[in-house]
Homo-oligomer: A and B are copies of this chain.
Amino acid sequence: MKETAETGKRTLEEVRDDFIGQWGAFGSQWGISRTMAQIHALLMTGPDSMSTDEVMEKLSISRGNAHTNLKELVSWGLVRITARKGERKEFFEAEKDVWKIFTIILRERQRREIDPALELLRNCQEETKHISGVGAEAFRKQVKELENFVGFARNVGSKVDKLSYGPAMKLAAKLLS
């Protein structure tokens, strides 16, 4: 926690760099790479779009790393490519609307994790249908219950995904009351 000697106050740049670093650490606790989360934090909290070179510079990372993670963010839909007149370079700007960010991540994780998990659970039941015995019963029962729950969670997720911020808040207000 670097700070100016005199006042005990840190500059915007110091606070922001700190934020970006820690946000990256959070990201890596999830399945997201540290750099991807950092770039997202960088673009999200800045006023302007940035080029690959600016991102490299600001985060002290290699071109390859910057490139790969920027494109990964674009593929998630969390970052868009924009143009600046008179410039040939690509510039990147982040989605800033938190509800949109949330639904994008929700959708992506459903697709990448929930759906395959559901399929696994269904297959396991299908394949052990014909087997009897205490072991098979225990296995099937638990897998069935997991499937019910995961399927249920998936439905809730899909529904929430379709909501926009306002209605979602209203619904939550009801829940929280």
Question: Binding site of A, secondary structure by majority: helix, strand, loop or mixed?
Answer: helix
Copies in the complex: 2
Question: Does A47 lie within 8 Å of B156, measured CB to CB?
Answer: no
Q: Indicate with 1 or 0, residue by residue over A19-46, a CB within 8 angstroms of chain B CB atoms.
A: 1001100100111000000000000111
Q: How large is the interface on A (under 10, 10 to 19, 20 to 34, 35 or more residues)?
A: 35 or more
Check A68 for interface membership: any CB of B closer than 8 A.
no
A135 contact from B46, B128, B145, B149, Cβ within 8 A = B46
Q: How far is the CA of A131 from the CA of B155 in the complex (A)?
A: 44
Chain A, 102-121, CB within 8 A of any chain B CB: 102, 112-113, 116-117, 120
Check A138 for interface membership: any CB of B closer than 8 A.
yes
Q: List the B side residues contacting A58 at CB < 8 Å.
A: none
Q: List the B side residues contacting A113 at CB < 8 Å.
A: 26, 29
Question: Does A139 lie within 8 Å of B45, measured CB to CB?
Answer: yes
Check A5 for interface membership: any CB of B closer than 8 A.
no
Question: Does A124 lie within 8 Å of B19, measured CB to CB?
Answer: yes
Q: List the B side residues contacting A47 at CB < 8 Å.
A: 134-135, 137-138
Q: List the B side residues contacting A18 at CB < 8 Å.
A: 124
Q: A138 with B175: in contact, given A9-B127, A15-B124, A148-B98 (CB under 8 Å)?
A: no
- Which 4 residue pairs are nearest across A and B when measured between Cβ atoms? A47-B138, A98-B149, A29-B31, A45-B139
